[in-house]
Amino acid sequence: MTQRTLAIIKPDAIGKGVAGQIIARVENAGFKILAAKMIHMSQAEAAGFYAVHRARPFFQSLCDFMTQGPCLPMVLEGENAIQRWRELMGATDPVKAAAGTIRKDFASSIEANAVHGSDSPETAGVEISYFFSSLELCPR
């Protein structure tokens, strides 16, 4: 089933200068990049995006991290895209991430972990429309 997912290259990865290497992995895995833009989120924008985590002890630190510099949200399309992108990312904690995954190779910590990926079709729909209007999704 062709799906869309919301990926973000997070501020730590942009700051390290590895966005290009991450995008190359996206392309090499066969995803279509339907939309992408560089943004610098405000606290309110980061808090809105991560609202599901607002009761977690790491929530404020996560919002500070996501607003420390620009990030690069992208809409990826492909067969089984939601699960395949999460497999390419690797586990949330880079210590636990499998060899060859993006987080294993580029994440610094469980918080500064280089990339985001939607975790279900429902979440993907909400997250894509958080960053992109329908006009910004290039028809293919």
Which residues in this chain contact Mg ion in the complex, by CB under 5 A?
A: 119
φ and ψ of 112, to 5 deg: -85, 75
Which is closer to ligand IDP, CB of 40 or CB of 53? Answer: 53
Q: Of 50-69, which residues contact ligand IDP (CB under 6 A)?
A: 53, 58, 62
Cβ(14)–Cβ(71) under 8 Å? yes
Q: Assess 45 for contact with ligand IDP (CB under 6 A).
A: no
53 as an active site residue: the answer is no
H or E stretch at 5: strand 2-9
Q: Which of 25, 67, 116, 127 is catalytic?
A: 116
Q: Name the one range near ligand IDP by CB under 6 A: 12-20, 74-82, 112-120, 124-132.
A: 112-120
Taking residue 101's Cβ as centre, other Cβ atoms within 10 Å add up to 20
Rounded least distance, CB 76 to ligand IDP, Å: 15
Rounded least distance, CB 132 to ligand IDP, Å: 19
Which residues carry out catalysis?
116
